[in-house]
Amino acid sequence: MSTLIDSLEQIDRQGGCVVMPAGEVERLAKIFGPAVRGMGHWNKTTDGAVEIPIANITEALKQIGNGELADAIRQLRSPEQFASVLEGSSSAGRLVESLARIRDRQFREGVERLQESSDPVEVEKLKDWLDWELFQ
């Protein structure tokens, strides 16, 4: 069992993100579809992992309700629960959808900021961020 300090050290090493390895991404994508790859930054050209910011996870949990977290974890961990997951009414499905919606909203907001910005420094940073999001 990992301790709080272990968890905090892992978050610090990963830059405030949870990294879902490629094998887990593909396993969950078979159940939930491509929304799994949209939950965070998908490193499709490198290792296939998905990096999900801790802030997005926190926001998603607020949206689905903390009471559903244990149920979502159980469903994600246990292949025996695929039937309930596939029905789309599962806590895990709602968590995946919520994370994908948050990520989509952030991307659209970044594009809008780029279109509206007149600050050359901000424009360059946003272009770099969008380039990384789209092509990394």
Q: Which residues pair with residue 79 across a beta bridge?
A: none
- Tens digit of pLDDT for each residue in 25-63? 898 888 888 889 999 989 888 888 998 888 888 888 888
**pLDDT reported for residue 124:** 93
Compute the distance between CA of residue 39 and CA of residue 76 in angstroms, rounded to an integer: 14
Compute the distance between CA of residue 70 and CA of residue 91 in angstroms, rounded to an integer: 9
Nearest to 28 by CA among 109, 121, 130, 99: 99
pLDDT above 90 as % of the chain: 21
Residue pLDDT tens, the chain, 136 long: 666 676 666 666 666 788 888 988 898 888 888 889 999 989 888 888 998 888 888 888 888 776 676 676 666 666 445 444 444 557 778 888 899 999 999 999 999 999 999 999 999 999 998 888 887 7
CB of 96 within 8 A of CB of 36? yes
